[in-house]
């Protein structure tokens, strides 16, 4: 098979997703399983999004609007960014792929702090790019290490802010200064999948830096705050020239019709957004209080998830919790062998997580 594959494809280790509830159900014949492994919204999808999908199902015989006109209009209003600076993707993951496809030639370098979201490196590998990892400092992205790694061959830089899986964030001011020292032939991707959960007022969206940084791309998603992970829809903001480049490699109709109407509705579902932020805040506080009581270390977070240092180690803890019907994420694939990652859930799910962890 190796002879048939494009060079480098065999070296890619497929992305390890969080275990689906149904899969564990099949394997262990368990019921009442809870999943706190993929940073999904524990409240379900935005009810207004569900309503919009229901009302529009009869249109499924038609191709969706390739340009997502109405959705972009709503977004332009909400985020105060012109339609021409917006692109939609089948999850922000598709946008990551479009960026590499448009800009990364084989052999060019992409700087990726590690540990971070594993999808970046898979995509760079898929397009024959070279991964340059930079270490974190105290589990936070170290922007000076990124600057030091820039070479003549650098084409892309990926910054996840706040960073998955560590939960730590960079201040907008730090990012602004960083962008000033990045040479103007390098694309900087700022992935803000969790920015809405940040509670530190100094941690804001980088969208306000777009005007002064023509090669900045800001990515966001409907998967987390809006509860639409299963629909696959994410979005990006960038200059018109970058949006034009990405549209050249985008498949037509990449955003299905239910996703378009659901995302439009979810943007305006302020009640759901508020409830989500408050259930996450309460969940994290519950975790902090109980982990403190148990003497277990964790990393204070700016996201909807928490990195927890577990005495038994990542894999043992993950597997033991699985057997009790609690799905979390082992951080072994991220090089953090002593940690699991758990996201804020419903109050009863959070309680179950703590009870099971305490019983190990």
Site residues, ligand PLP (CB under 6 A):
39, 91-93, 117, 160, 164, 191, 193, 221, 223-224, 229, 234
In the complex, least distance from residue 143 CB atom to ligand PLP, rounded to whole angstroms:
17
C-beta of 101 vs 324, nearer to ligand PLP: 101
In the complex, least distance from residue 87 CB atom to ligand PLP, rounded to whole angstroms:
13
Gap between the Cα atoms of 132 and 136, Å rounded: 13
In the complex, least distance from residue 161 CB atom to ligand PLP, rounded to whole angstroms:
9
At CA 249, angle to CA 225 and CA 128, rounded to 5?
95
Gap between the Cα atoms of 47 and 129, Å rounded: 41
Helix (H) / strand (E) containing 116: none
In the complex, least distance from residue 295 CB atom to ligand PLP, rounded to whole angstroms:
29
C-beta of 72 vs 354, nearer to ligand PLP: 72
Q: Closest Cα partner for 280 from 304, 254, 313? A: 304
In the complex, least distance from residue 93 CB atom to ligand PLP, rounded to whole angstroms:
3
In the complex, least distance from residue 92 CB atom to ligand PLP, rounded to whole angstroms:
4
> From its phi and psi, is residue 22 left (phi > 0), alpha (psi between -120 and 50) or beta?
alpha
C-beta of 168 vs 325, nearer to ligand PLP: 168
C-beta of 113 vs 325, nearer to ligand PLP: 113
In the complex, least distance from residue 338 CB atom to ligand PLP, rounded to whole angstroms:
21
C-beta of 104 vs 112, nearer to ligand PLP: 112
* Closest residue to ligand PLP using C-beta atoms: 91
C-beta of 99 vs 356, nearer to ligand PLP: 99
Alpha helices in the chain (DSSP H): 21-28, 47-56, 69-79, 92-103, 119-126, 143-148, 172-180, 240-249, 257-267, 270-294, 314-323, 347-358
9 CB neighbour count, 10 Å cutoff: 13
C-beta of 167 vs 325, nearer to ligand PLP: 167
Handedness of CA 54, 69, 250, 191 (dihedral sign): negative
Gap between the Cα atoms of 298 and 340, Å rounded: 10
Gap between the Cα atoms of 76 and 95, Å rounded: 18
In the complex, least distance from residue 316 CB atom to ligand PLP, rounded to whole angstroms:
24
C-beta of 109 vs 191, nearer to ligand PLP: 191
Gap between the Cα atoms of 328 and 360, Å rounded: 14
Gap between the Cα atoms of 91 and 174, Å rounded: 27
């Amino acid at each position: 098979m190796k002879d048939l594959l494009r060079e480098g494809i065999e070296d890619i280790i497929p992305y390890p997703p969080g275990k689906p509830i149904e899969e564990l159900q099949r394997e262990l014949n368990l019921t009442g399983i809870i999943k706190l492994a993929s940073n999904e919204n524990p409240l379900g999808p935005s009810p207004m999004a569900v309503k919009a999908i229901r009302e529009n199902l009869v249109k499924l015989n038609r191709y969706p609007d390739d340009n997502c006109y109405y959705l972009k209009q709503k977004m332009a209003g909400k985020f105060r960014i012109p339609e021409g600076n917006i692109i939609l993707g089948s999850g922000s993951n598709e946008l990551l792929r479009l960026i590499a496809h448009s800009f990364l030639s084989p052999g060019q370098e992409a700087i990726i702090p590690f540990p971070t979201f594993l999808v970046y490196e898979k995509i760079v590998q898929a397009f024959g790019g070279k991964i340059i990892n930079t270490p974190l400092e105290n589990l936070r992205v170290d922007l000076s290490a990124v600057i030091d790694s820039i070479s003549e061959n650098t084409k892309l830089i990926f910054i996840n802010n706040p960073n998955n899986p560590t939960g730590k964030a960079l201040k907008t001011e730090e990012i602004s200064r960083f962008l000033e020292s990045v040479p103007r032939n390098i694309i900087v991707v700022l992935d803000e999948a969790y920015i809405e959960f940040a509670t530190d007022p100094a941690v804001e969206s980088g969208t306000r830096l777009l005007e002064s940084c023509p090669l900045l791309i800001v990515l966001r998603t409907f998967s987390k705050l809006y509860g639409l992970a299963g629909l696959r829809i994410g979005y990006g903001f960038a200059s018109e020239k970058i949006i034009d480049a990405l549209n050249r490699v985008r498949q037509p109709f990449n955003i299905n019709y239910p996703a378009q109407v659901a995302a439009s509705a979810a943007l305006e579902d302020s009640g759901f957004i508020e409830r989500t932020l408050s259930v996450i805040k309460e969940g994290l506080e519950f975790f902090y209080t109980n982990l403190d009581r148990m003497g277990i270390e964790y990393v204070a977070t700016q996201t909807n998830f928490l990195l927890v240092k577990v005495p038994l180690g990542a894999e043992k803890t993950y597997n033991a919790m699985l057997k009790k019907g609690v799905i979390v994420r082992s951080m072994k694939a991220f090089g953090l062998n002593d940690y699991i990652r758990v996201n804020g859930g419903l109050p009863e799910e959070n309680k179950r997580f703590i009870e099971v962890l305490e019983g190990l």
